Amino acid sequence: NAGVTQTPKFQVLKTGQSMTLQCAQDMNHEYMSWYRQDPGMGLRLIHYSVGAGITDQGEVPNGYNVSRSTTEDFPLRLLSAAPSQTSVYFCASSDPGRWNTEAFFGQGTRLTVV
Amino acid sequence: SQQGEEDPQALSIQEGENATMNCSYKTSINNLQWYRQNSGRGLVHLILIRSNEREKHSGRLRVTLDTSKKSSSLLITASRAADTASYFCATDSNDYKLSFGAGTTVTVRA
């Protein structure tokens, strides 16, 4: 059981380049989300999805796109990378009910934009 | 904006001692969760406490929740070197979106 898998683990981009961060989960979770983690700021929600075909914005969505064509996959696209997007990105999935929203996290993608 | 705030930001203790960290939040919640992050790794879920619960235990972990003060505490008893990590509280405010605090970095000295 792989859980949540993120690729790549590390990436260096030049300003203006685009790329897609991949996230896949094998737990049949409906809820998936993307966070970015910056020093001293904890995790901030970028985008989330409550099921295939449904996505919505989180706290810091600007500069990022997402899609959810399948339950398993939730890719995050950087449209035109900027140095401010240098961060560690985490994908998470969960199976929320009324009382249980324990999230499972991937190992992260460390992105540097130069 | 972030819902939770942990205190202290950093904590250094001797192996075998207890570690206590606190989390305060702003709005009403469904539940509050604590996560651990080892350096360079993803977050791992530790424990979830529901809004109608006041205390919960899991192994060496004890979590309390005071909804009247909008605060929670995480106690790690008999700490070990392997407990060295960052600890985050996260709140779920009835919309399934978790809101994280900035974390407490715990260092356990041998």
Q: Quick one: average pLDDT of B71-90?
A: 97
User: What pLDDT digit, counting tens, does each position of A1-35 carry?
Assistant: 679 999 999 999 999 999 999 999 999 999 999 99
pLDDT band at A99 (very low <50, low <70, confident <90, very high): low
- Chain B CB within 8 Å of residue A4 CB: yes
CB contact under 8 A, A107 and B41: yes
Which is nearest to B13 in space by CA: B80, B89, B75? B80
pLDDT at position B2: 54
pLDDT band at B92 (very low <50, low <70, confident <90, very high): confident
Mean model confidence pLDDT for chain A: 93
CB contact under 8 A, B44 and A105: yes
Q: Which two tokens stand for residue A101?
A: 């929203």
pLDDT band at A100 (very low <50, low <70, confident <90, very high): low
- Chain B CB within 8 Å of residue A42 CB: yes
User: What is the rounded distance in angstroms from the CA atom of residue A90 to the CA atom of residue A83?
Assistant: 18
pLDDT at position A102: 87
Give the one of B42, B50, B98 whose C-beta lies nearest to A99's C-beta: B50
* B92 vs A contacts (CB less than 8 Å): 96, 101
CB contact under 8 A, A35 and B96: no
∠A76-A78-B2 over CA atoms, to 5°?
A: 70
- Chain A CB within 8 Å of residue B2 CB: yes
